[in-house]
Amino acid sequence: MEYILTNFQIWLCGGSVLVAPCSHVGHIFRMRRPYKSIPGRDSNLYNSLRTVKVWFDDYEKYFYEKRPEAKEMDAGDLSERLELKKKLNCKPIRWFIDEICPELQPKRTLHEDL
């Protein structure tokens, strides 16, 4: 999830991402985590939920459509992340979808158009 979060932060907070066709990306995993995880909590879902709550604005509902179990999860204290987003004057996710990645536009149904 970190790579998605990093991309959102860069684009929404004034940066840009360049594509280098010949580049390769890798991830080196640590032998063990430098932090304790809470037993029974899906760390990937928890981190995804935190990202969605900070960055996805009105698009949060689409995340819950795919991961309804996240509705019951506590995302923890997001005040520092939200304050940083505000301090950096980051754009809303709608801007990213409209300007950078329009293929992410959610499919609309007929009743939404009425």
Q: What is the pLDDT of residue 1?
A: 58
Tell me the average pLDDT across 53-75.
94
Q: Rounded CA gap, 48 and 56, in Å?
A: 11
Domain range for residue 105?
Answer: 2-10+41-113
Whether residue 3 is predicted with pLDDT greater than 90 in this model: the reply is no
Number of domains in the chain: 1
CATH value at residue 93: 1.10.8.460
* C-beta neighbour count of 48 within 10 angstroms: 20
**Does any domain span residue 29?**
no
DSSP state of 70: G
Tell me the average pLDDT across 24-31.
82
* Residues 51 and 5 sit within 8 Å (Cβ to Cβ): yes
**Does any domain span residue 21?**
no
Whether residue 67 is predicted with pLDDT greater than 80 in this model: the reply is yes
DSSP state of 36: P
Q: Rounded CA gap, 11 and 28, in Å?
A: 24
**Does any domain span residue 103?**
yes
* C-beta neighbour count of 65 within 10 angstroms: 8
Q: What is the pLDDT of residue 110?
A: 52
Q: What is the pLDDT of residue 32?
A: 80
**Does any domain span residue 27?**
no
**Does any domain span residue 58?**
yes
Q: What is the pLDDT of residue 26?
A: 82
Q: How many residues does the chain have?
A: 114
**Does any domain span residue 28?**
no
Q: What percent of the chain has pLDDT over 70?
A: 91
**Does any domain span residue 22?**
no
Tell me the average pLDDT across 16-21.
86
Coil/strand/helix, residue 21: coil
Q: Give whichever of 7-21, 22-36, 37-51, 59-73 has the largest mean pLDDT.
A: 59-73
